[in-house]
Amino acid sequence: MTSPLQQKIKITGPSIITANRTWDGAVIYRTGAKGWSDDLSHAAIVRTADEARALLAEAVADDLGAIGPYIAPVEVAADGAVKPGNMREHIRLTGATIALPAQA
Amino acid sequence: MYAYDEIDRTLVNERVAEFRDQVKRRLSGELSEDEFKMLRLQNGVYLQLHAYMYRIAIPYGTLSSDQLRRLAHVARRYDRGYGHFTTRQNIQFNWIKLAELPDAMADLAEVGIQSMQTSGNNMRNVTSDQWAGVAPGEIEDPRIWAELLRQFTTLHPEFSFLPRKFKIAITASDHDRAAIKIHDIGLRLLKNEQGETGFEVLVGGGLGRSPFIAKTIKPFVHGHDILSYVEAILRVYNQYGRRDNIYKARIKILVHELGIEKFAAEVEEEWLQIRDGALKIDDGVVEDIRSRFFYPAYETLPAMPDELKQAAHDPKFEAWRKNSVFAHKVQGHAIVVVSLKPVGGPPGDATADQMDALADIADTYSFGEIRVGHEQNLALPHVRKSDLPKLWKALDAIGLAIPNVNLVSDIIACPGLDYCSLANARSIPIAQEITRRFANHDTANLIGRLHINISGCINACGHHHVGHIGILGVEKNDEEFYQITIGGRADEGAVLGTLIGPAVPYGEVADVVEDIVEAYLALRAHPEELFVDTVKRLGVEPFKERVYATR
């Protein structure tokens, strides 16, 4: 499998690096402080391919903390609020769009 | 049920210990994810959108009540209180933590449940007819042969690194409930003119990006030779199957590119070299496996007990009975299908409480046995007809007396984009909306048998190609669209559905299904003509016109 760092990086707007946490698989976001957070608002925002590549390299290097880091689009509102940029990331952030059976 | 012998118990326990060590080394950093990934996949551990997903095999769809209770325990203790039954007689837990997986695996091993080879490029769970051993007219119990193949292929070094995953299904009835024609190898049990047990062997079926219906490679292989013949097929596949392109790596592509005659000739040549060797099966092996299956001591009972006659006055009971109760090979008994498709619910899911309650129900009414079918429903295989009214009430009390088996709301659906990292679009909400549209039982009954299958991506875990109505989620510019096919079927007359036109957006899918069903009701020759037969008779055009006339 091609390493994410060997893939061509093309971003068209504000983006973040996301992955799953190793011990429990939870969705996490790369922060600007060389760590991870499960809160999207703590994610470091990148706007160029070079910035994305650098942040991705840092994330990939943390093989123990996270699995499968990749670049994902986000929307940044005028007040700085960050939202997922597509349906997949929306579902990863907020959970399944259906009521889970045990909660139904 | 099948009772594992000491070899299997040791194997399963050793695998738990091995995986516990692997997880420990992964969490300490001794193993990288690249090194660990294949190890976890070989134990059925995937990474999905929100969490790890743990896929557990239910070989040939047979569960004991104790095993079902243990699955409920895992759902409650390690997951979020429910499990998802799949189209391949597996159950999946969607929220399990890697750090806790070895404990969950150990708990399951205590009751003979394991997850070996439920992922990865190896031989997957061997599936069979969920009515095996109890279906009227069956040649013989196909699970015996499925178990033989399970033993043969589990950790077989030659089959552990195949070009791609490999799936076998076995049926022993004229009506194929195991969907053998969409498997890499499909086996149909039959007797030859001498009354000897053997198999029609089919090869090269599969769905996904390039769907194919399996072709017959040999009309009769004696039961004594089935392992060597399967090995010969796998050897040819292992030798020629493509490893350079994941999309062309399944055996169906090899069979298609070589042609069935050339492929069959290659297999025959290989087989002749090994057929009289160590893989020859003697009757003693088969009988030993047979002796480890549990067969109830059925009582002699009336075909129409008084309890059933009295209950027939209750229209709710009758509605359930007509769609859920099926003929059994022993008089006075019945097979009861338990639908996991409530109106507005996710197809194939069961809560831990439901699993526990159903285990108790199975103990009371079905000799402690439960079956899992590829349609994502469960079945109780040994029910006394006189117990049906009490069983119905017990199922109703846990929300599982759902009278929609084989009807339009009995939908097969993959987890889709709500869970799956491969998905392009959601499946479950589409299924839920369709079930709400057809919630009226009288309407669903009027429509009759109609199978809707939904997949959230081209990998086709929801078997959309062979749905009477198939729905495939695709993504266009970050939006969910759905392609609709009609006329597919997965049984002995398996055929791929035909695309009716351009994909429709998420919000219109249920409307389109309603349009198709309304067209069918107007076009069918008579009320007994099934939807698939109307499509076969008329083709897709009238349905296409109806759907796209106003779109």
- pLDDT tens-place string over residues B507-543: 999 999 999 999 999 999 999 999 999 999 999 999 9
Cα-Cα end-to-end distance for chain A: 39
Query: If you measure CA to CA, which chain B residue comes closest to A1?
Result: B34
The residue-averaged pLDDT of B493-518 equals 98
Is A25 within 8 Å of B478 when comparing Cβ atoms?
A: no
The residue-averaged pLDDT of B267-294 equals 96
Q: How confident is the model at residue B551, as a pLDDT?
A: 84
Distance of CA B194 to CAs B173, B190, B198, B218, B225, Å? 19, 11, 11, 18, 16
Q: How confident is the model at residue A104, as a pLDDT?
A: 56
Contacts of B98 in chain A (CB under 8 A): 22-25
Q: Closest Cα of chain B to A9: distance in Å?
A: 18
Please give the Cα distance from B264 to B266 (Å, whole number): 5
Please give the Cα distance from A44 to A33 (Å, whole number): 8
The residue-averaged pLDDT of B461-465 equals 98
Q: pLDDT category, A8, cuts 50, 70, 90?
A: confident
Q: What kind and span of H or E run contains B321?
A: helix B315-324
Please give the Cα distance from B480 to B247 (Å, whole number): 23
Contacts of B99 in chain A (CB under 8 A): 23-24
- Angle at alpha carbon of residue B123, lines to B120 and B125, rounded to 5°: 95
Q: pLDDT category, A4, cuts 50, 70, 90?
A: confident
Residues in contact with A53: Cβ distance below 8 Å, sequence separation at least 6, in sequence order: A5, A9
Residues in contact with B69: Cβ distance below 8 Å, sequence separation at least 6, in sequence order: B355, B356, B359
Q: How confident is the model at residue A56, as a pLDDT?
A: 97
Residues in contact with B538: Cβ distance below 8 Å, sequence separation at least 6, in sequence order: B523
The residue-averaged pLDDT of B401-406 equals 98
pLDDT tens, position by position, B329-374: 999 999 999 999 999 999 999 999 999 999 999 999 999 999 999 9
Contacts of A4 in chain B (CB under 8 A): none
The residue-averaged pLDDT of B148-160 equals 94
Q: Among B96, B98, B418, whose Cβ lies nearest the Cβ of A97?
A: B418
Kindly tell me if the per-residue pLDDT of A1 is higher than 80.
no
Kindly tell me if the per-residue pLDDT of B411 is higher than 80.
yes
Kindly tell me if the per-residue pLDDT of B143 is higher than 80.
yes
- Angle at alpha carbon of residue A65, lines to B81 and A48, rounded to 5°: 110
Q: pLDDT category, A5, cuts 50, 70, 90?
A: confident
Q: How confident is the model at residue A103, as a pLDDT?
A: 65
Kindly tell me if the per-residue pLDDT of B2 is higher than 90.
no
Q: pLDDT category, A10, cuts 50, 70, 90?
A: confident
Q: How confident is the model at residue B350, as a pLDDT?
A: 98
- ipTM attached to this prediction: 0.94
Q: Among A63, A68, A101, whose Cβ lies nearest the Cβ of B351?
A: A101
Contacts of A26 in chain B (CB under 8 A): 50-51
Bridge partners of B453?
Answer: B412, B470
Please give the Cα distance from B159 to B157 (Å, whole number): 5
The residue-averaged pLDDT of B381-410 equals 98
Q: How confident is the model at residue A9, as a pLDDT?
A: 86
The secondary structure of chain A in percent helix, strand, coil, rounded to multiples of 5, reads 30, 30, 40
pLDDT tens, position by position, B180-213: 999 999 999 999 999 999 999 999 999 999 999 9
Kindly tell me if the per-residue pLDDT of A2 is higher than 70.
no
Contacts of B349 in chain A (CB under 8 A): 101
Rounded-to-10 torsion of CA B332, B337, B342, B348: 160
Q: Which of B478, B479, B481, B506 to mutate to test the interface with A (most CBs of A within 10 A)?
A: B478
Distance of CA B33 to CAs A58, B16, B120, Å? 16, 19, 15
Query: If you measure CA to CA, which chain A residue comes closest to B245?
Result: A1
Q: Closest Cα of chain A to B208: distance in Å?
A: 21
Q: How confident is the model at residue B3, as a pLDDT?
A: 87
Q: Going along B448-547, which residue ranges are E strands?
A: 452-455, 469-476, 479-486, 498-499, 504-505
Q: pLDDT category, B1, cuts 50, 70, 90?
A: confident
Q: How confident is the model at residue B276, as a pLDDT?
A: 96
Q: Which residue in B83, B109, B165, B30 sits closest to B348, CA to CA?
A: B83
- Encoded tokens for B28: 């300490």
Q: How confident is the model at residue A7, as a pLDDT?
A: 75
Q: The whole model's pTM is what?
A: 0.96
By the CB < 8 Å criterion, does A21 face chain B?
no
Q: How confident is the model at residue A6, as a pLDDT?
A: 73
Q: Between A and B, how many CB-CB pairs are < 8 A?
A: 77
Is B99 within 8 Å of A67 when comparing Cβ atoms?
A: no
Please give the Cα distance from B348 to B531 (Å, whole number): 23
Q: Which residue in B162, B353, B308 sits closest to B240, CA to CA?
A: B162
